[in-house]
Amino acid sequence: MPRWSVAEPQKLVFDAPVTDLHVRIVHGMVNVVGTDESAPRLHVSDIKGPPLIVTQQGGTLTVTYEGLPWNGFLKWLDPKSWQRSAVVSLAVPTDTLVEVGVVGAGAVVSGIEGRTEVKGVSGDTTLVGLSGPVRAETVSGSVEAQSMTGDLRFNSVSGDLTIVDGAGTSVRADSVSGSMIVDLTSDNTSPEGRPTDVSVASVSGEIAIRLPHPADTQVEANTTSGTVSNAFEDLRVAGQWGTKRITGRLGAGQGRLKATTVSGSIALLRRPPADEPPDEDVRVPPQAPAPSGQPESGDPKDIGPTDKKVL
């Protein structure tokens, strides 16, 4: 099995095909970009502490540290980890299956059509233009998903979730205290005939969901002690003391929207039609800029020219 130890900034290009990418780092930054090129490329632009171990077995390319497993990753809090960091950029074929794990590091994944899985102990994650299924788990880091068409599964303890221009047919999100903003651009069914299905739940975090207009969804939203806000005349709001509910059907009701929180507030917002100017009072957070000194996501040129060929 080919194996490389990377202890200083280095650029590599791999001639062997890659179908799976596994990246796990502590502190720093991971940037994964899907490209049409068949040869994967790796650029370690900064590294401190122990070297990164790069291996390629079959079609799986792995970039990680010694003793940093994927299973149980969210519980990996070795005190020695604070003495290391790395800034890693990779360009891989768009259909690659991607797994990224970060401890105290940021992550950006863009342009991937295959399955993507991200785990983070802390540090923010940005997902851009992903069309395959996505699973994101975080303890305290936030996750922002932009222009996604694939299904999303999200779990966090206190991390926030923001979905901007989401067109996926299925969203499942759970958090203890993190807030959730879900902005959907389309409520149409998928090419496979599956209607939009959104289910979000939080104990104390706030939930805001913006639906397209006209919408085509069966709605059920409730909070035990929080407040509710509803922008749709066809939906019913019930309960003045204690539990409050928003229920009803928009359009034919082919899709499904369920939102639940114990003490957090719930807001259902209306996205204006394409020919109507945006409501100045309803704003969805803009795209987050790339971290200072790091490449903007989604641009394969950020990887830079390669210095070394790897068979």
**Model confidence at 310: pLDDT above 80:** no
Determine the pLDDT at residue 194.
Answer: 67
Determine the pLDDT at residue 38.
Answer: 85
If pLDDT is split at 50, 70 and 90, which confidence band does 239 have?
confident
Determine the pLDDT at residue 222.
Answer: 95
**Model confidence at 279: pLDDT above 80:** no
Q: What is the mean pLDDT of residues 3-26?
A: 92
Determine the pLDDT at residue 73.
Answer: 57
Task: Work out the percent of the chain whose per-residue pLDDT is above 90.
Answer: 60
**Model confidence at 296: pLDDT above 80:** no
**Model confidence at 74: pLDDT above 80:** no
Determine the pLDDT at residue 56.
Answer: 92
pTM of the complete model: 0.83
If pLDDT is split at 50, 70 and 90, which confidence band does 305 have?
very low
If pLDDT is split at 50, 70 and 90, which confidence band does 107 have?
very high
**Model confidence at 277: pLDDT above 70:** no
> Which of the two residues, 186 and 59, has the higher pLDDT score?
59
- Mean confidence (pLDDT) of the chain: 84
Q: What is the mean pLDDT of residues 11-34?
A: 93
String of b and e for 205-226 (b: at least 16 CB within 10 Å)? bbbbbbbbbebbbbbbbbbeeb
Residue spans per domain, the chain: 1-68+83-119, 124-287
Distance CA 108, CA 119 (A): 12
Determine the pLDDT at residue 206.
Answer: 96
Q: What is the mean pLDDT of residues 85-91?
A: 96
**Model confidence at 188: pLDDT above 70:** no
